[in-house]
């Protein structure tokens, strides 16, 4: 299918920057739209890559043709981290501005480079959001196949998602030598996918994947560094109630996590909850990082009340907003348990529940009930 180009909410910084994002999220397309007339060097071009590998000074010679104050785009910079030394020098000496893209900062950090010591800001690119897709957005399809532009453009999303996971193993993990135990990582992926939306239990994962616990910990870090997943920390305060310290784990896209789990059939009722919750988490991170509307995101679960939890606690300044997500078309009293329990949190200004029903509600105890469409509309207007 031919998917139209959607306007992305990400805006180019005015100074040099790194743009990170998982493969297929639209980094190259975004660069063409915003820097189409700018000189570009892609390290995916094997001949160019080999030339720079053999003679790094060639990069300096080519970059030096750019005038002071103008831009130079370098795509997939993590393939040759040593070039950042030249980038640093060109920023300092010639005042060239760089747009540097990659799918991971892991290899850059591991190579001992300092990500330009603050001379370049960092931006992350996410899969497409309902706010960007507008009327073309379909929640059922998004929860089954995700919203990566690469997959949306595919004639067969199932086949493309399965190929995406294999490409990730080959090009991201094996080619970049991120792990020594590729077999263990292959066993780890589908097990890690089962923890989507759950509190991490690394010991269980290491046992089921037949790898050591530190290895499993490292593998989770790789998923985060390659921007396929994020951890959600528990909220901690100095109040009488002690909150949990364990983090939850979310994959960045429903399609990717389902492909890693090797199940792309229409999601069943037992799977929808985690998929919807994870999708909302992606949207909240988008709102935090791209639109700067949220300072921090947590989940809330006091240790002394094991079955009481609120999915997301948003912090902006000294104020909080609690959000519960339910993959249900009708509400039950137990859906409100967490939001009622958190009512006494200092600074809490709003309590919201997002569900799959078709009617917005305002309940007597101050809880606002949003349909998913109304919730994304509110995000679009920055009114959360």
Concatenating the DSSP letter of every residue in 282-311 gives HHHHHHHHTS---SEEEEE-BTT-TT--EE
Using CA atoms, how far apart are residues 247 and 244, in angstroms rounded to an integer?
A: 8
Are the C-beta atoms of 54 and 45 separated by less than 8 Å? no
If we measure between CA atoms, which residue out of 267, 281, 42 comes closest to residue 142?
267
Concatenating the DSSP letter of every residue in 63-92 gives HTTSPTT-EEEEE-GGG-TTHHHHHHHHHH
- At 382 the pLDDT is 85
Using CA atoms, how far apart are residues 295 and 342, in angstroms rounded to an integer?
A: 19
* Cα dihedral 158, 162, 167, 169 sign: positive
In what helix (H) or strand (E) does residue 316 lie, and over which residues does it extend? strand 310-316
If we measure between CA atoms, which residue out of 90, 80, 137, 146 comes closest to residue 113?
80
Helical pair 213-225 and 202-209, crossing angle rounded to 10 deg: 100
Q: What residue has token string 């991201």?
A: 172
- At 246 the pLDDT is 83
Token pair recorded at residue 368: 């606002």
Give residues with Cβ within 8 angstroms of 250, minimum separation 6: 196, 197, 229, 230, 231, 232, 277, 278, 281, 282
Environment class of residue 94 by beta-carbon count within 10 Å: exposed (0-12), middle (13-18) or buried (19+)?
middle
List the pLDDT tens digit at each of the 384 positions of the chain. Answer: 445 579 999 999 999 999 999 889 999 889 989 998 889 999 989 999 999 999 989 999 999 999 999 999 999 898 898 898 889 889 999 999 999 998 777 767 665 555 676 678 889 999 999 999 999 999 999 999 999 999 999 999 999 999 999 888 777 776 655 667 788 888 999 999 999 999 989 999 999 999 999 999 988 998 998 889 999 999 987 544 445 568 999 999 999 999 999 999 999 999 999 999 999 999 999 999 998 889 999 999 886 656 679 999 999 999 999 999 999 999 999 999 999 999 999 999 999 999 999 999 999 889 999 999 999 999 998 888
Residue 19, CA distances (Å) to 25, 70, 129, 214 in order: 11, 18, 18, 29
Domain architecture of the chain: domains with CATH = 17-124 (3.40.50.300), 130-264 (1.10.10), 278-380 (3.40.1350.10)
- Per-residue pLDDT tens digits for 153-177: 999 999 999 999 988 877 777 665 5
DSSP 3: P
Using CA atoms, how far apart are residues 203 and 199, in angstroms rounded to an integer?
A: 12
Using CA atoms, how far apart are residues 383 and 378, in angstroms rounded to an integer?
A: 5
- Per-residue pLDDT tens digits for 299-355: 998 866 566 799 999 999 999 999 999 999 999 999 999 999 999 999 999 999 999
Q: What's CA 191's distance to the chain center, in Å?
A: 19
Q: What is the pTM (predicted TM-score) of this model?
A: 0.91
Environment class of residue 298 by beta-carbon count within 10 Å: exposed (0-12), middle (13-18) or buried (19+)?
buried
CA dihedral 205, 206, 209, 212 (to 10 degrees): 170
Would you call 343 helix, strand, or coil by DSSP? coil
Q: What's CA 115's distance to the chain center, in Å?
A: 20
Concatenating the DSSP letter of every residue in 148-181 gives -HHHHT-S-HHHHHHHHHHHIIIIIIITTT--S-
| Biggest distance spanned by C-alpha atoms of the chain | 70
């Amino acid at each position: 299918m031919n998917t139209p180009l959607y306007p992305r909410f990400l805006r180019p910084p005015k100074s040099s920057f790194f743009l990170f994002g998982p493969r297929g999220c639209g980094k190259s397309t975004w660069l063409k739209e915003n820097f189409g007339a700018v000189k570009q060097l892609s390290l995916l071009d094997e001949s160019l890559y080999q030339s720079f590998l053999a003679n790094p000074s060639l990069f300096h010679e080519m970059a030096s043709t750019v005038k002071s104050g103008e831009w130079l785009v370098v795509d997939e910079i993590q393939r040759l981290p040593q070039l950042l030394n030249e980038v640093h020098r060109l920023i300092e000496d010639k005042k060239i501005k760089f747009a540097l893209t990659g799918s991971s900062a892991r290899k850059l950090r591991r190579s001992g480079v300092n990500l330009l010591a603050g001379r370049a800001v960092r931006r992350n690119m996410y899969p497409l959001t309902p706010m960007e897709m507008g009327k073309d957005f379909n929640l059922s399809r998004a929860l089954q196949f995700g919203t990566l532009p690469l997959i949306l453009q595919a004639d067969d999303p199932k086949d493309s998602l399965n190929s995406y996971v294999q490409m990730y193993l080959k090009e991201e993990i094996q080619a970049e030598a991120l792990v020594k135990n590729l077999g263990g990582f292959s066993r780890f992926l589908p097990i890690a996918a089962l923890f989507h939306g759950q509190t991490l239990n690394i010991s269980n994962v290491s046992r089921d994947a037949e790898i050591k616990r530190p290895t499993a910990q490292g593998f989770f870090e790789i998923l985060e560094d390659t921007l396929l997943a994020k951890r959600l920390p528990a909220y901690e305060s100095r109040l009488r109630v002690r909150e949990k310290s364990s983090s939850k784990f979310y994959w960045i896209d429903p399609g990717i996590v389902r492909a890693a789990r090797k199940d792309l059939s229409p999601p069943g009722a037992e799977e929808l909850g985690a998929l919807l919750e994870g999708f909302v988490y992606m949207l909240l991170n988008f709102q935090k990082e791209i639109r700067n509307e949220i300072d921090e995101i947590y989940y809330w679960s006091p240790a002394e009340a094991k079955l009481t939890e609120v999915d997301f606690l948003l912090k902006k300044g000294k104020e909080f907003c609690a959000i519960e997500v339910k993959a249900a078309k009708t509400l039950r009293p137990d859906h409100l348990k967490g939001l009622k329990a958190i009512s006494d949190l200092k600074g809490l200004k709003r309590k919201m529940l997002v569900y799959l029903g078709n009617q917005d509600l305002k309940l007597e105890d101050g809880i606002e009930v949003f349909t998913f469409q109304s919730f994304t509309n509110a995000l679009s207007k920055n009114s959360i």
